[in-house]
Structure 1
Amino acid sequence: MVNAAIEQHSQTDAPAKTGAHIDIQHVSHWFKLPNGVLQVLDDISLTVAPGEFVALLGPSGCGKSTLLRLVAGLEPATTGQVTQDDTKITRPDPSRIVVFQDPTLYPWRKVWDNVALGLQARGLLKEQRYRVDDALALVGLTEFADAFPHQLSGGMAQRVALARALVNDPQLLVLDEPLGKLDSLTRLQMQSELVSLWQRNGFSALLVTHDVEEALFLANRVIIFSDRPARIRAEIKVDLPYPRHRGDARLAELRHEALRHLGLDASW
């Protein structure tokens, strides 16, 4: 567990500014389909400051995850460009690590070996084995280093996925609904732990989530998208220090504002 890290940073309002600066400039994107083209993004311009945590909210299928893929360098934008520290993103890079909804662990590899994958692929494992141990300690799984994925709970498996990302010391963590399949209690715990990891490591974070409260609990800013093709409908600055408290009246106000932009405030 990372309770010690949470306590260590309980008075910290923002992470150290060591993360990537991401600049998304007038990005539009289309998919080629058998019967034509489908536009999913429409003139998106957005920046993520070094060490900032930004969350993306919007209707399902509007293009949020597509934008993450462009930022990660998994495919190029149809028009516009995405840069990291003023350099155009054209391909994946260890400085930008994606954490998906599914942990995608190799079932035949023990926890330690799953976390070591990035270093192994880059030829760094022999000299930097200590980083695997450090990453496991950071997510509270040192005692499970020799376990197999099937022996872990869902929350523990997602911690392994986070450790696998953090072992590469990324400048940007790209989070595509990483807590979406966890039970509600584990999800709440993991949200606090994710904040702690972000504060401790100082990376920038770009999160896609469908959970309004999660976005407001984690992020410095929440960007709200329209229906497909996604346009930026609103931007909410979450003007609250960390650690945040879920019963805070200001969070309730911001939740209502977010739901209003999403057209879902009538029942709140």
Structure 2
Amino acid sequence: MVNTAYVNDARQGAGLALRIDNLSHGFSLEGHRLPVLERVSLSIAPGEFVALLGPSGCGKSTLLRLVAGLETADRGALQADGVDIISPDPSRVVVFQDPTLYPWRRVWDNVALGLEAQGLLKTTGHKVDQALAKVGLSPFARAYPRQLSGGMAQRVALARALVNEPRLLILDEPLGKLDSLTRIAMQQELIDLWQRQGYTALLVTHDVEEALLLANRVIVFSDRPATIKAELTIDRGYPRHRDDPYLLQLRKQILGLLGLGESW
């Protein structure tokens, strides 16, 4: 069984520390202010895997966009390794639910996009091959997206993120559109990649079981405007098993926090 510690000697320093302090954010909607996040504070250690759960539309994905630097918070502070987050950075990479691959570009060229945009492809093109190898897609480097299954397309999206050697991998329901068997396989792949690479991972999911199988810690949000209702540390190593009584009890507790206790 793998050590439950999320930072070990081989991976020390790979992940970044994330600090969210008294964060509030909202949007303007037809002339009215729509509050989305309300006084959210959260600290994530380097190399930790944290999952965010909450009602649909409560603001989880908005929080990820703020962490990625794609939006600026109304109030509060966000810091990566003690530095304010004010814009996107290659060290913080987002993987979305939709792989968003360019259909006219081959797999290799889709993965190379980040390096190409930074003007680094000529000198670091070997990283594309390495990223494809990490996700098991080296034989498909010359394929087009239309020739891939849904799970393979999502692995291309992961490779595209990994090629930038991120220190924070931001996962916005990356497995949400996959069939159940592919999703189970991809969950294990996410854990394997995280354990090998040592980056910090922040995952939004609506699947309570998925959060419990992947994360060191689960954060449960209220309805909008989202506040943190609970933080649960998962005291289990890897691999984890769906029928573990400890995880089943935590699932029941989380469903209760989400107002779905009667569904258990």
**Shorter-chain TM band:** over 0.9
Pairs within 5 Å for 1:28-177: 28-177=24-173
Supply the AA of the counterpart residue of 1:51: G
**Structure 1 Cα separation of the partners of residues 214 and 25 of structure 2:** 28
**Structure 1 Cα separation of the partners of residues 106 and 208 of structure 2:** 35
**Structure 2 Cα separation of the partners of residues 231 and 175 of structure 1:** 20
**Structure 1 Cα separation of the partners of residues 100 and 79 of structure 2:** 27
Q: 1:217 — aligned with what?
A: 213
Q: 1:252 aligns with which of 244, 248, 255?
A: 248
**Offset from partner CA, 1:128-151 (integer Å, 9 cap, x none):** 111110100000000000000000
Q: TM-score, normalised by structure 2?
A: 0.96
Shift of 1:12: 3.8
**Structure 2 Cα separation of the partners of residues 107 and 66 of structure 1:** 27
**Offset from partner CA, 1:209-252 (integer Å, 9 cap, x none):** 00000000000000000000000001111110011112211111
**Structure 2 Cα separation of the partners of residues 11 and 86 of structure 1:** 30
Ranges in structure 2 where 5+ consecutive residues have no aligned partner: none
Supply the AA of the counterpart residue of 1:112: W
Query: Which deviates more from structure 2 when the two are superposed, residues 147-156 or residues 255-264?
Result: 255-264
Residue 243 of structure 2 aligns to a residue whose secondary structure is: coil
**Offset from partner CA, 1:11-64 (integer Å, 9 cap, x none):** 343353420100000000010122311000000000111000000000000000
Shift of 1:124: 1.1
Q: 1:11 — aligned with what?
A: 2
**Structure 2 Cα separation of the partners of residues 198 and 81 of structure 1:** 26
Shift of 1:263: 1.3
Query: Which deviates more from structure 2 when the two are superposed, residues 242-251 or residues 11-20?
Result: 11-20
Shift of 1:188: 0.6
**Structure 2 Cα separation of the partners of residues 12 and 128 of structure 1:** 33
Shift of 1:267: 2.8
Q: TM-score, normalised by structure 1?
A: 0.95
Supply the AA of the counterpart residue of 1:234: A
Matched, 1:182 2:178: yes
Identical-residue share of aligned pairs (%): 66
Supply the AA of the counterpart residue of 1:212: V
